[in-house]
Structure formats: C-alpha cells, structure tokens
Amino acid sequence: MITQSIKYAFAFAIILGGLNRGDCAFTHTLVSPEGTVAVTVAQDSAGNPSAGETDLRFMATCGTDTAIEWSPLGLRMTEPALSGTFQFVSQSDTSIDETYTMVSGKASRQRNRCNQLTLTFTAAGGVQVDCVVRAYDDGMAYRYRLHGARRAAAISEELSGFSMPQGSRMWIQETQSGDMTYEETFDAYTLGDSIPVDRYGNFPALFHTPGGSWVLLTEAAVDGTYGACHYTISEDRRSLFRIALPQAVIAGGLPWETPWRVAVIGRSQGTIVESNLVEQLNPPCAISDVGWIRPGRAAWSWWSDNTSPSSLAAQKNFVDFAHEAGWEYVLVDEGWSRAWIGELVQYGAQKNVGVLVWYNWADLDAPDERASTLAWCAAAGVKGVKVDFINSDGQDRMRFYDALVREAAQNRLVVNFHGSTLYRGQRRSWPNLLTMEAVRGAEHYLFEDQERGWPSPGQNCILPFTRNAVGPMDYTPVAFSAVTRATTAAHELALAVVFESGLQHFADAPDVYAASPGYPLLRRVPAAWDNTRFAAGAPGEYACIARRKGDAWYVAGINAGGARDAAFELPYVKQGTYTADIYADDGQGGIAVSKAMINTQGVVSVSMAANGGFCFVLDGAYDPARDTLAVRFPAAQGETVRRRAVAVCREAGAYRVTVAIPGDYCVRIIDVRGRCLAHKMARGRETERIDAGRLSAGVRLVCVTGGAVRYAQRIVDR
C-alpha cells in the first residue's frame, strides 16, 4: 500500500542577476527534510570550469562538508541541435513523503521522503527542459525532463557529472572489455593520485571525502526509454566523473525523462549500506497483486557439478535437499530438457519446492518466442526464470529487460537476470525481479582466474558498501568446497547474511552443506528482510551487518586481512541479554559453534580470524520503537566509526535518549512550542529520559552537540 502526503511549503532562495530573463543568472539551495544534505544549483559562468559547455551546475554538502564540488548539468542534442545552453523560464518546488512496502530487499517498509526543485528552461527547436533535483536526508538526485511542441528528440551527450573533492579515498570498478557484465574488481585509489582512467567507468563508485562524508554515485530508474550509463574520467580533470552514454545517440519521444543521477551521501558508511534511495527513485509497484511472489533460498547444482542440469535424477536429489533444508526453490541451470521438466515440477510440488529454469536471453528476445516460452513455463508450473548472457547496456537491451520482467509478471514468474547490467532499483516497480548478478561472485572460483583467489576476502568486504548497497546481488554465496578460496568457512557462512538477494542461490553440494556445522543457520536464514542496519566496518577491511526478519535479528561479519576483534553496539535491538549460537572461526579455517550470552545494552565484541567471519541470531529481539527510531551518527569526524553515538527510543510513556560521544557534549530536548525540556552537559555514555507528560503533542527535536558531532532528530507522533 502506498500513502502519499505532498507538501508545498519549504524555504528556498533564488537570486536573479541584472540580466534579461533569457540570460538571467540564479542560485538556488534545496535542503533535505531534516537538513542533513543541501544541494545548490546555479546558472552562471563566473568561475565555472565547465562554462565552455554549459553554464548550469550544482554542488552538494553534508553538514559543513562539501560532499560534491561544483559539477556540470546539461545535455547535448542532435535532434534538435542543442549545445547545452539553456534559457531559464521558471521554478517550482514540492515535498514528497510516501511510504510503501517491498516484497524483498533491505527493508520491507520504506519511506520516500524528500524536497524537490524543478527548474524549467527553453532550448532550441521548441524543446523545454526541466532539471528536476531532489534532496534526501541520505543523498540527492537529479534528472532531465524534455517536453514541448516536438514529438521526439535525440541526445548525443550528457554534459552532467559529479566533481569529487581532491584527496577523497575512492573505490571504483574496472569496466570489462567487450561484454558489459559488471564482474570486474573494485580498486582503491586516492583522488589526485595517478589513475589509469581508461580502465574505469562502472557504477557504483564509492568515495570518502577529506571532510568525512561518504558518497556513493550511481543511477536509478533506467528503462527502455534510455540506456544504462557509465562514467568517464578525463586526463585533464580527474576529479570529474562525467556521465557517459552507452551508445552514440539515444532517441525518445516527448515527454521524455532521463534516468536519475544519484549520490547517496552521509557522515557514516552506514548511510551507504542502509540506504534505499535507488529504489525510492523508481516508479511505484506496477503489479496489483504481489501475493504470489515468493523470495527464497535455492539449491543450485551447476556450481558443484556443471553437468548436473541435464540429469533429472540429479535435480530430484537437489529437490530432496531443498525440501530437507526448508528452502523454497531449486534452480535448474543450462542443460535441462522440456522432456522431463514437468516431472521435476510435479516432484517439487509434492515437497513444496518450486522449480526455476535457465534461459539464454537470445532465446527470449523475439516477442513471439518470449510470449510463448513464458506462457509454457507458467503452464508447466515453473515458478521463475534465470535469464543469462544479456551483456549489454544499450537502449535496445533495456527494452528487453522491461519486456521480460513485465511479461514474466503477467505469467506469475519470478526473475533472476544473470550476465546482466547493474541493478538500478527496478524491483520497486517490478517486485517479481528478485535479483541480478553484476558481481564477481562464487562462479569465478571455477574460472580462469582461480589462481588469484577471486573473489578475494578484500573484494567481499567492499561489496556491502558498493554493489550490494544499491540492491540485490546474485553472488551465489557459501562455497565451502572452493579449493582456491582464501576465506575461512565462517566467512563463507556469514555471506548468507551479509549479502542481500531476493533469491539466494547457495552454490555448494547437498553433502557439503549437510556436513557443515553451519548447516542449521543455512536452514533458517531468510532471503528477504524487514530491516537492515550497519554495525561496523570499513571498505576492503571488514563489514558487520545486522538484518531483521520478524522478531529475530541476524548479525554477521566478514573480515579481510589479519585477525581482528569487531566491536559494535546494537541500539536498534530489544535491550537485554540473549543466549545465542555463535558461528565463528575455529582457528583452522573451519566453523566453531558455541553458545554465548549477548548483552545488547553494551558493546558486543566478536573475534574474527584472518579472512574470517561470524554470525549469530538474536531471537525475540524485535523492539518496534528501537527498530524505527534508533539513529546512527559518527562518534567524531575522522575517527573510525565503531559504534552508534546517538539512539532515540520510544518507551512506555516516555522517550529515552542515549548518547555515547568521546569528550563533553550537550543534549537538548525541545518540544513543538520551542520549549527546552532538558538541557544537560555530559561526558561519556549518558541516558536522558523524558516523560510523555512533559511533551506537548506534535514534533519534538533532540539536539546533541559535542566535539565534531552536530546532530538533530525530529520525533513525530502519529
């Protein structure tokens, strides 16, 4: 269900220069609802490094830090001929606040809340161009909307880009020569160092600015009206990540909207991990009845025996195992036969195991063939399709994605795109799209680069902050029997929680899983989550993530490099002491299972071996107030974030504010009338409890100030 509240009142400023209306200069600052992110858009030439191409530009700040420096905005068109210079006509603004549910993902309930600015310009040939900018509390986005008297237009170049601060640490992915599958590695550089610029260009790209902001660049709402874009880095301006089209010209009918250019922005890497911004920028759900869509775990035979998909007997064995494990599906990869797939479907139905089947995209490209094949799958009782080797970002291939997922929904089939483009938020519109590959996953243990140990522990520890941060990732995890892996078995097991995918295809063989001490966890771990929280970590070093399903919190971590103790707090969990099975490293590369008492009122510390990992489950730990109101903020600028510094929790008849900031700080509680209800100087860990009887109805504001921390949160009673 979607509920929407549109508000039209928020502060803005627009400055018009002393020029005629067609040549006027302006500056407009758009602020996110809670004031954490601000976007300034300007049209001028003075001091504009891109003025030779376009005089329209933007910048973004996170608190006092410049997260994105002045960056160009604009288009170059061949039909009609347009060089990038726009004439300003008008502006309008609005606020968006809507909530909706997701079938799969990081969170089952999401809130799309932002302020939006629309700047309208005239261009050549009777075209009007809207530049639409949104400011979210966890980022910003912009797109172009073309309309006017013309029926069609053609874009030859986007003059848009993101200019990142010099000195930023960045993690960027190599582009793959030939096919576009997004399966290369992410490499770490410092912006300003020598970079082989021609090797890189895939979204997403992650940055940590010298001022302490975290920024993830990507795009959203890509469909067949456009193409999936990349970025280019020029030799003469290496800080500018310029939007690059996947083909020479993209044509579309008017009115026409480009994809959103997206920057997820926060003061902690937790903002990157937890954000659902990419999905929020996509259109609402296009399926009226989603009750038939079932996320789930799948037994998959191809990885452990790539001849097995041609054997009915082998697939029945995997159905038996999926049934015993409580998993929802079995995936039959390349080599299956129509002659026996119906028998397998019936066999699986008796055991409540659905059957997914593999197709080469080329066999589904022609509309008539696609329609007949998907209809046959539905009639045969198949539950979904894995569509492989799509390998292109062009506009024609985006049209294929659109048609396939739409027609699959009409036939009640779930979809997994493999050999695919990057996920760009589509499952909000099409929740039957449960996962996409676009990652160097476990299959690479079997390929030509196995001597390098890819996927490496370091790459695994980058993915939660990059590829998996934007959406579901068909990594096919938990490859215990990979002989070339550098990870421990506990690291592999933890991937079942750390990596999110609406279809989680577990790679290894039934006997390997059944013999593992981690098998009880694999039997219960879900594939769709109610909430996701970042616990601790640093890209390429380690990552600890907590995910909730129902009343249980699953907490897991993976490590790269030497042994370390992961220390974190769990303020979003129901406070108390829990008895849990800890799946951890045994010191020999395997898994040790032990019972431990976990006290969520303090710091939780878990040891990880070199390239190791851990996982545990806290049952009965769901607290609705903590789950929705707990807030993360860095302990101090420049300090590695190992805990959540501020937590605001609703209790019976009260609010409790818990603060843990090094040094002195001040806490203020302000009610809707502007009255200061509490003003307290403190040091270390302190808790302030405010009784509801002291609060007037409406909005309260919690303010914490200390050292480098400047934090405020509104609390709204519904």
Q: How many CB atoms lie within 10 A of CB 369?
A: 12
Distance separating alpha carbons of residues 119 and 158, to the nearest angstrom: 17
What pTM, to 2 d.p., does this model score? 0.86
**Domain boundary residue among 246, 280, 314?**
280
Distance separating alpha carbons of residues 154 and 251, to the nearest angstrom: 4
Question: Which residues are CB-contacts of 69 (< 8 A; sequence separation ≥ 6)?
Answer: 59, 163, 164, 165, 239
The confidence score (pLDDT) of residue 258 equals 98
Do 607 and 664 lie in one domain? The reply is: no
The confidence score (pLDDT) of residue 525 equals 98
In a domain, 82, yes or no: yes
Structure tokens at 364: 């589904």
**H-helix or E-strand containing 489?**
helix 489-498
Distance separating alpha carbons of residues 55 and 663, to the nearest angstrom: 46
Do 473 and 526 lie in one domain? The reply is: yes
The confidence score (pLDDT) of residue 422 equals 98
Q: Which phi and psi (to 5°) does residue 715 adopt?
A: -120, 125
CA angle in degrees (0–180, nearest 5) for 46-50-51 = 45
In a domain, 273, yes or no: yes
**Domain boundary residue among 264, 280, 296?**
280
Do 163 and 54 lie in one domain? The reply is: yes
Do 625 and 685 lie in one domain? The reply is: no
DSSP 223-260: -TTS---EEEE-SS-TTEEEEE-SSS-EEEESSEEPPE
Do 577 and 667 lie in one domain? The reply is: no
CATH code, domain with 466: 3.20.20.70
The confidence score (pLDDT) of residue 667 equals 64
**Could you write out the three-class secondary structure of 66-124?**
EEEEEEEECEEEEECEECCCCEEEEEEEEEEEEEEECCCCCCCEEEEEEEEEEEEEECH
Question: Which residues are CB-contacts of 122 (< 8 A; sequence separation ≥ 6)?
Answer: 22, 86, 87, 89, 128, 129
Do 530 and 664 lie in one domain? The reply is: no
In a domain, 323, yes or no: no
Do 131 and 275 lie in one domain? The reply is: yes
- Domain range enclosing 28: 3-280
Do 587 and 670 lie in one domain? The reply is: no
Q: Which residues of the chain have pLDDT under 70?
A: 1-24, 51, 83-84, 177-179, 448-453, 628-655, 660-685, 688-718
In a domain, 321, yes or no: no
Closest CA to 627 of 570, 712, 703: 570
Do 49 and 83 lie in one domain? The reply is: yes
Do 449 and 542 lie in one domain? The reply is: yes
Q: How many CA within 13 A on the CB side of residue 340? A: 14
CATH code, domain with 276: 2.70.98.10
The confidence score (pLDDT) of residue 690 equals 66
CA angle in degrees (0–180, nearest 5) for 432-437-439 = 150
- Beta-strand relationship, 87-101 and 169-174: unpaired
The confidence score (pLDDT) of residue 713 equals 56
In a domain, 38, yes or no: yes
CATH code, domain with 649: 2.60.40.3080
In a domain, 339, yes or no: no
Do 624 and 654 lie in one domain? The reply is: no
Q: How many CB atoms lie within 10 A of CB 215?
A: 26
Q: How many domains does the chain have?
A: 3
- Beta-strand relationship, 354-360 and 384-388: parallel
Do 604 and 673 lie in one domain? The reply is: no
In a domain, 412, yes or no: no
Catalytic positions, written as ranges: 388, 443
In a domain, 294, yes or no: no
The confidence score (pLDDT) of residue 237 equals 87
**Domain boundary residue among 569, 597, 632?**
632
233 pairs with which residues across the strands? Answer: 241
Q: Which phi and psi (to 5°) does residue 340 adopt?
A: -125, 0
